[in-house]
Structure 1
Amino acid sequence: MYFVVIADDEKLMREGLARSIPWNNLGFSVAGIAASADEAVSFFQGKEIHLLLTDVRMPGKSGIDLLGWVKRYSPASKVIVISGYDKFEYAQNALKLGADDYILKPIKKTMVIESVKRMKKALDAYYSQMHLHNLYQRDFFFRKLLENPLVSTDELEEIKMRLECTDESGHYAVFLFDFYGIESKKTTLSARMNDFLWDEIGIYTVVIVPDQTIERFEKDVQSLAIPWAKGSEQTFDSLCISYENALDVIRHDEGKIYHTFHASFVEYRKIMKLLDALSVGDYVFVDDYLSQLFSHFDNTTTAKKWCLWFMDCLEQSFEKYRFTGQYQMAVKNCQSQDISVLHEIFIQYMKKVYMTLEERKLSASGQLVQRAKTLIDGNLSDKNMSLTTISLELQISYGYLSGVFKREEGQSFSSYLVKRRMEKAAELLSRHDMKLYEVADACGYGNYRYFSDSFRKYWGRIPSEFQGV
């Protein structure tokens, strides 16, 4: 429910607006009616007001003065200006100061209702975006607490505030869970998890449990057949140690299956082309390539290893969409020596991939990320390209784009940018007609030494080893 204030020096007008408009049905509650600008301001100072209806002409400060005050001190609030002046300059001045609508007297009830409906829609969109922004901020500070051992005292205080942690005394343990393929187990445990700080980091669900409830929580976990690990007990400012302990335990679990397909650079580059084709929706190219690939496999053992490797590569690129578990199991359990049987399993898997990626493109955040990726891919040579420049181009905030990109892609904006530049560099180096410094420049690196170091860090080899491959 949103709150509205009505300001008009005419008693009949302000009381009439309060009574005649079906505010509750429109999603609003009248917080107050005011006969002057100062009286209206007092309502804003007492609670959060979402909508103001104000007359232009009032004794003392005018409605235009009130509009300026609201837009300065309560910028998220919407303002509808009501005026008996039909001269264009009055409306123009009000709109310049930030009025969201301008209605001329004598007013009609239907006009006010339609205007209020528009304000409600705009407020819904604003607060929905703010909610997402707050979620992204929370995710950022949760990660900062666990992944950054060099957090200053001031940063730690901000983390506590952002995570709404009121009691950081005592010790805590970090629990990691891998609900991959067994999401129903997460639902079972969620009632207990909600008592603690928790979030998703990569493929793991991370829960911070205070010392007085660790034993009880551990018993709850043990009753469920799920992969999990517990880190050492630490103080709140040293939770990164507990997190690293838990990561070491879960990563070295003897029961964990690792896929073993050692791809050459050429094979990896082909996979990158496949993933690029998937990201732009070129499914015909993907289907043709996979059909040719399966026709050249000598045996099901090699085919299985390739399928599992491809699934891993795809999940690393589209990490948010973890749907390969059942298909990986189907590949592993395939006993037939007929490659066509394995191919049919893989076709069903790819249908699921296509459907999932198309659903993502239809979402608002998915479309936003697609636009960002298009800008990145089309401007890889731009040395000044950054999250800031792309967010300015898309006319959205830096923090919002960062959060949406991470959420949709499973990797940060900077990681994706480096990945695309390194892939382009590898492709250009495979030609014989470009010098190393030309490749660096074409990939957005003005400093060749920095380019060479980045390339070696990403690919494990120096650029010259890739020339002509």
Structure 2
Amino acid sequence: MYNLLITDDESEIRNGLSNYFPWHEFGYQVVGQACDGEEALAFIEKKPVDVLLCDIRMPSLSGIDVAERLYRQGSGVKVILLSGFKEFEYAQLAVQYGVKRYLTKPTKYVEIAEVFGHLRSEMDHERMPAPSPSASSAESGLADHTIEKVKAYLQDNLSAATLENAAKHVYLNPFYLSKFFKTKTGENFSDYVMNLRMHRAAELLKTTHCKTYEISEIVGYSNAKNFTRMFRSFFGVTPREYRNED
């Protein structure tokens, strides 16, 4: 079992997270609650904690402040931030302190299960005394699953495909996902999305009667002129020229 500390300045949220989710089924035990960052750090100094689930905005110390202090101390505590939608960009700052994942409020069962399930797999791997073939296979499988999930999301949501939206879909920090995607695929996230958009646009030009501005919107360009410019740069011809080619 991994020791989990839950920190939020709202008692209702703390108690709800502590009691309504079956932590034991996922390999965790809630060892305490803290109402602010200072109390969380004090708790960690006295008792062993493996994971800190911490609200990003609190009086005194924010969740990012707590993550920074733990990072500076060389602590091995894994930090997962609770972030509201409006705090999403702010939460990205925490990647420099080792925060890879976050949960959005209001939290959902499936999101908690996925985030903490992945985290447990990572920690299990880290605790192994020496690498094994099976360990490498498990880690590789987890990475492949995440990348495939991102790719599937992009395929189905090209009109709204952004790094931030993809990161939300797999509960990862956007900056971390960007580096992770490059490491695992050898391709920049933005280049991958652009390739998807251009090839989808080319397909639509050949197989539908949609107008250029309609295809532009379908593949995620709100400005048709920008789309045409990008298409020409990518294929060497304009969308109209491409459609009329034999």
TM-score by length of 2: 0.51
- Pair 1:88–1:14, CA change in 2 (3 A): closer
Pairs within 5 Å for 1:301-312? none
- Pair 1:363–1:24, CA change in 2 (3 A): closer
Aligned equivalent of 1:339: none
Q: d(CA) in 1 for partners of 2:48 and 2:86?
A: 31
- Cα deviation, residue 42, structure 1: 1.6
- Pair 1:364–1:62, CA change in 2 (3 A): closer
Q: Deviations over 1:368-395 (max 9, x none)?
A: xxxxxxxxxxxxxxxxxxxxxxxxxxxx
Find out whether 1:75 has 2:75 as its counterpart.
Answer: yes
Q: For the Cα contact (< 8 Å) 1:86–1:104, is it kept in 2?
A: no
Q: Deviations over 1:295-324 (max 9, x none)?
A: xxxxxxxxxxxxxxxxxxxxxxxxxxxxxx
Question: Structure 1: which 5+ runs fail to align?
Answer: 134-359, 366-469
Q: For the Cα contact (< 8 Å) 2:52–2:78, is it kept in 1?
A: yes
Q: d(CA) in 2 for partners of 1:13 and 1:45?
A: 24
Aligned equivalent of 2:112: 112
Q: d(CA) in 1 for partners of 2:70 and 2:13?
A: 21
Aligned equivalent of 2:43: 43
- Pair 1:13–1:48, CA change in 2 (3 A): same
Partner amino acid for 2:130?
L
Q: Deviations over 1:59-109 (max 9, x none)?
A: 111111111122233532211100114354213112232212122212212
Q: For the Cα contact (< 8 Å) 2:64–2:91, is it kept in 1?
A: no
Aligned equivalent of 1:157: none
Match of 2:130 among 119, 129, 132: 132
Aligned equivalent of 2:121: 121
Q: d(CA) in 2 for partners of 1:88 and 1:13?
A: 19
Q: d(CA) in 2 for partners of 1:89 and 1:66?
A: 18
- Cα deviation, residue 28, structure 1: 1.0
Q: For the Cα contact (< 8 Å) 1:31–1:43, is it kept in 2?
A: no
- Cα deviation, residue 26, structure 1: 1.0
- Pair 1:106–1:363, CA change in 2 (3 A): closer
Aligned equivalent of 2:62: 62
Pairs within 5 Å for 1:65-464? 65-73=65-73, 75-128=75-128, 131-132=129-130
Partner amino acid for 1:97?
Y
Partner amino acid for 2:13?
M
Query: Comparing both chains, which one has the higher relative contact order based on Cα–Cα distances under 8 Å and sequence gaps of 6 or more?
Result: 2
- Pair 1:46–1:25, CA change in 2 (3 A): same
Q: d(CA) in 2 for partners of 1:110 and 1:364?
A: 25
Aligned equivalent of 1:8: 8
Question: Structure 2: which 5+ runs fail to align?
Answer: 137-246
- Pair 1:84–1:2, CA change in 2 (3 A): same
Q: d(CA) in 2 for partners of 1:109 and 1:364?
A: 28
- Pair 1:31–1:73, CA change in 2 (3 A): farther
Percent identical pairs in the alignment equals 38
- Pair 1:12–1:87, CA change in 2 (3 A): closer
Q: Deviations over 1:237-291 (max 9, x none)?
A: xxxxxxxxxxxxxxxxxxxxxxxxxxxxxxxxxxxxxxxxxxxxxxxxxxxxxxx
Q: For the Cα contact (< 8 Å) 2:6–2:34, is it kept in 1?
A: yes
Q: CA RMSD in A?
A: 2.5
Partner amino acid for 2:51?
L
Partner amino acid for 1:72?
R
Q: Deviations over 1:391-421 (max 9, x none)?
A: xxxxxxxxxxxxxxxxxxxxxxxxxxxxxxx
Find out whether 1:21 has 2:21 as its counterpart.
Answer: yes
Q: For the Cα contact (< 8 Å) 1:80–1:99, is it kept in 2?
A: yes
Ranges of 4+ aligned residues in structure 1 off by more than 4 Å: 362-365
TM-score by length of 1: 0.28
- Cα deviation, residue 25, structure 1: 1.2
- Pair 1:363–1:51, CA change in 2 (3 A): closer
SS in 2 for 1:32: strand
Q: d(CA) in 1 for partners of 2:88 and 2:64?
A: 15
Partner amino acid for 1:91?
A
Q: d(CA) in 2 for partners of 1:3 and 1:79?
A: 12
- Cα deviation, residue 132, structure 1: 3.0
Aligned equivalent of 1:323: none
SS in 2 for 1:33: strand
In the alignment of these two chains, the number of paired residues is 138
SS in 1 for 2:23: coil
Q: d(CA) in 2 for partners of 1:19 and 1:74?
A: 30
Q: d(CA) in 1 for partners of 2:55 and 2:4?
A: 14
